[in-house]
Copies of this chain bind each other. A is one copy, B any other.
Amino acid sequence: MKFAIDAELPNTLGRTGTITTPHGEIQTPAFVPVATKATIKSLTPEQVRDAGAQVVLANTYHLYLEPGDEQVKNLGGLGNMMNWKGPTMTDSGGFQVFSLGAAYGKKGITKISHRELLLPKIVEEETPKIVTIDPNGVMFRSHTDGSAHYFTPEKSIDIQHNLGADIIFAFDECTSPYEPLHYQKQALERTHRWAKQSLEYHKSKNTSQALFGIVQGGRDENLRKESAKIIGDMDFDGFGIGGSFEKEDMQHAVQWCNSILPKHKPRHLLGIGEPVDLFGAVENGCDLFDCVSPTRIARTGMVYTKDGRINLLNQEFREDSKPLDDCTCYTCKNYSRAYIAHLFRAKEMLAATLASIHNLHFIISMVDTMRERIKNKNFENFKKDFLKRYYKS
């Protein structure tokens, strides 16, 4: 894997670049759609490509359980199996430590809906955790059949080697922002040790896959900077910035990390997809971002427009013959809001497909435009106009 910086955004950490992988180039900054179980839900790879995607990210934990990483390898690896002809990525499984462990059963905690991350709402429920962390690794119970599985850094790398994505991640522990500082320190020590193990084990194998190390540290400035220094000094091909953030913390954490991480390697902000967060992440020097949000909200009838999100199930759209937005995607060129609203009411699968195409296109082309505007030196105007209109503020 190679990375070259093409242009920079003055007085910020922002830049544009080109990542070259065995399966093609990625122009950055780039939004990465999530193919959790080796499919972007409700879409063919051609529809994902036509929506503008350059690269997709699949989940190691899910593919390990089903259909199994050996099985994916036998079917030619992730990209070949799912008929995605461009670059691919897999996460490390570490995020599941968080979502199935610390955050399991806590409805208020989510990496996706930062707006809902309001501390007083969170209630400790009696849900048993299905993850146990020890110094050497993590014991998962499968969320489907309850079977026990033990992940170590080496196991995560082995699985990701079988999955065969172009870019893979070191095994880490993602913590909740509500864990106390002493826990954050413990978890970070593990993450750093696991990063070193992941890297050493990866280097001992003969593979052309690129390995990214993950910076953690929660909301604490010292821990974030310490983590960026330690992970940044390791010989990774690039970096991920992990963690579940409160909204106001995110850009600080990103800035702390990226001011320290080596400039000439790509940086991936994990699990972020809100427009305002993406603008901040780009300005603060992130090159890649993945998020399930555009396709997840699409399946509920929620679509992005330049004037903010709309819910197609609202009465007002039943007779609305306009397209979803002033937009060049397949959905907007060919279908009305009223027809798509009908499909949602009728519970037709095509509803999810059409809304997902639009939402992916919306977010991807927003990031593509940021890239163009950095090159053309008029990023600030685009950001100001876009956010003002989108958030009506």
Contacts and interface: CB of A to CB of B under 8 A. Distances in A.
A342 interface: yes
Given A75-B336, A334-B83, A349 B346 contact: no
A318 B67 contact: yes
Interface stretch (A11-19, A38-46, A112-120, A307-315): A38-46
Nearest to A47: B44
Interface string A72-95: 001100000111000000000000
Contacts of A321: 74-75
A57 to B, nearest CB: 16
Contacts of A318: 67, 71
A4 interface: no
Given A82-B339, A83-B335, A345 B42 contact: no
A352 interface: yes
A319 interface: yes
A353 interface: yes
A75 B338 CA distance: 8
A345 B81 contact: no
A343 B81 contact: no
Nearest to A348: B39
A96 to B, nearest CB: 16
Interface in A294-335: 318-319, 321, 334-335
Contact of A38 (B38, B39, B342): B342
Copies in the complex: 2
A350 interface: yes
Contacts of A41: 348-350
A341 B343 CA distance: 26
A66 interface: yes
A37 interface: yes
A66 B350 contact: no
Residue in A342, A343, A345 with the greatest tally of chain B CB atoms within 10 Å: A342
Contact of A71 (B71, B83, B319, B353): B319
B352 A349 contact: yes
A334 B75 CA distance: 12
Contact of A66 (B39, B83, B345): B345
Given A67-B342, A336-B81, A342-B66, A74 B319 contact: yes
B66 A346 contact: yes
A336 B82 CA distance: 9
B338 A71 contact: yes
Contacts of A38: 339, 342
A184 to B, nearest CB: 34
Nearest to A354: B44
Contact of A349 (B67, B334, B349): B349
25 contacts: A37-B342, A37-B343, A39-B346, A39-B348, A41-B349, A42-B350, A43-B350, A44-B350, A44-B353, A62-B346, A66-B342, A66-B345, A66-B346, A67-B318, A71-B319, A71-B342, A74-B321, A74-B338, A75-B336, A75-B338, A81-B339, A82-B339, A83-B334, A83-B335, A349-B349
Given A349-B352, A353-B353, 11 more contacts: A38-B339, A39-B350, A41-B348, A43-B350, A44-B353, A67-B341, A71-B319, A75-B321, A75-B336, A81-B339, A349-B349
